[in-house]
Amino acid sequence: MTTVTTTTGGIRAPRRGSALAARQRSGGPSLWFLLPAALLFGGFAILPLLGAVVLSFTQWSGLGTPQWLGADNWLWFVTDPVTYTTLGITFAVMFGSLLVQGPISMLLGVWIARSGGFRSFAGLIFFVPLLLSSAAVALAYKNLLDPNFGLSTQDGFGWLAHNWLGDKNTVLIMVILVIAWHFVPLHTLLYQGGVRQIPASLYEAASIDGAGKIMQFFTITVPQLKYTIVTSSTLIVVGSLTYFDLIFVMTAGGPGYATRVLPLHMYLTGFRSAEMGKASVIATVLVLIGLVLSLALTRWSGFSKMKSQQEGM
């Protein structure tokens, strides 16, 4: 048994000193194992996020060296009317996505959670949109919705004949619907998983008590899915701050400012108008909104998690 070290390890590292006895007993590895991830994530995610705050106080075109400017960019952000337009659009996309994706995903998730030939087949197909890149989805819909050669020229689809993406009154709704088409599968999967964890005994008890299907859906399924609802909503909320590529390819933020969400505003300000300082202000605001919203939702989800577990008993 004394030859263990050499036989177990193909790698012959020296044995550790007794100073780390406690850690060794638990079998935990050295903290050095954190280093590669820390360097990569720290260097290319956390540091840049902090860098955005610094850059927001500079003037920089993207070439050369950033020049210190002070609070001018922040003043611009607060006074520019476009800021409030884009904030409004961002939240419209957020709430629109919650309202459209939430109920559809929950109903589909509940439906495909149970086995059956057609359901399994449908589940297979439902998933496909999620596999496509946002660029692909955007290009497909951009052309599909074209009033001149798109789907509306098919017999029976004449009601689709409208310049959906060119009309500033309809473009935002269309964007929200296309985003839903793309991301409903993800949330359907979450709900499917959630439904499958609901104990069947709850339904048995309810049907003995004479509760109908619809009654069971609202008194058992929905309350039991509370945690899934919060998870899915958090993903939609944080996701709304990142739906950049799909909108960029489909409408480029237009017509006018009609679909200029905050991340797109950041990109266009920074890389099209060469105002990296101003764009960094938008980046900082994006991070702040994301942090506030997800902290609020996490707090709420912790609460509801406990509650739903109690209700499950």
Rule CB under 8 A: which of 264-283 touch other proteins? Answer: 266-267, 270-271, 276, 279-280, 283
Stretch touching other proteins by CB under 8 A, among 46-54, 73-81, 91-99, 162-170: 46-54
In whole angstroms, how close is the CB of 179 to other proteins at the nearest point?
Answer: 14
Sign of the torsion formed by the C-alpha atoms of 274, 276, 277 and 283: positive
Question: Considering the rule CB under 8 A, would residue 205 count as an interface residue with other proteins?
Answer: no
Query: Residues in the chain, how many?
Result: 313
Q: Which of 231, 251, 259, 301 binds other proteins (CB under 8 A)?
A: 231
Q: Which of 61, 67, 143, 273 binds other proteins (CB under 8 A)?
A: 143
In whole angstroms, how close is the CB of 171 to other proteins at the nearest point?
Answer: 18
Stretch touching other proteins by CB under 8 A, among 78-86, 91-99, 162-170, 195-203: 195-203
Q: Which of 70, 116, 256, 302 binds other proteins (CB under 8 A)?
A: 116
In whole angstroms, how close is the CB of 253 to other proteins at the nearest point?
Answer: 14
Question: Considering the rule CB under 8 A, would residue 190 count as an interface residue with other proteins?
Answer: yes
Question: Considering the rule CB under 8 A, would residue 302 count as an interface residue with other proteins?
Answer: no
Question: Considering the rule CB under 8 A, would residue 59 count as an interface residue with other proteins?
Answer: no
Question: Considering the rule CB under 8 A, would residue 97 count as an interface residue with other proteins?
Answer: no
Nearer to other proteins, 77 or 141 (CB): 141
DSSP string, the chain: -TTHHHHH-SS-PPPPPGGGHHHHHHTPPPGGGGHHHHHHHIIIIIHHHHHHHHHTTEE--SSS--EE--THHHHHHHH-HHHHHHHHHHHHHHHHHHHHHHHHHHHHHHHHHS--HHHHHHHHHHTHHHHS-HHHHHHHHHHHT-TTTSGGGSTT-GGG-S-TTT-TTTHHHHHHHHHHHHHHHHHHHHHHHHHHTS-HHHHHHHHHTT--HHHHIIIIIHHHTHHHHHHHHHHHHHHHTTTTHHHHHHTTT-STTTT--HHHHHHIIIIIS--HHHHHHHHHHHHHHHHHHHHHHHHHHHHHHHHHHHHH-
Q: Which of 15, 79, 210, 310 binds other proteins (CB under 8 A)?
A: 15
The phi-psi region of residue 171 (left if phi > 0; otherwise alpha if psi is between -120 and 50; otherwise beta) is alpha
Q: Which of 89, 93, 94, 113 binds other proteins (CB under 8 A)?
A: 113
Binding residues for other proteins restricted to 150-179, rule: CB under 8 A: 150-151, 153-155, 157
Question: Considering the rule CB under 8 A, would residue 130 count as an interface residue with other proteins?
Answer: yes
Site string for other proteins, 210-229 (x = CB under 8 A): ---x----------------
Question: Considering the rule CB under 8 A, would residue 19 count as an interface residue with other proteins?
Answer: no
In whole angstroms, how close is the CB of 193 to other proteins at the nearest point?
Answer: 5
CB atoms near residue 31 (< 10 Å): 9
In whole angstroms, how close is the CB of 80 to other proteins at the nearest point?
Answer: 18
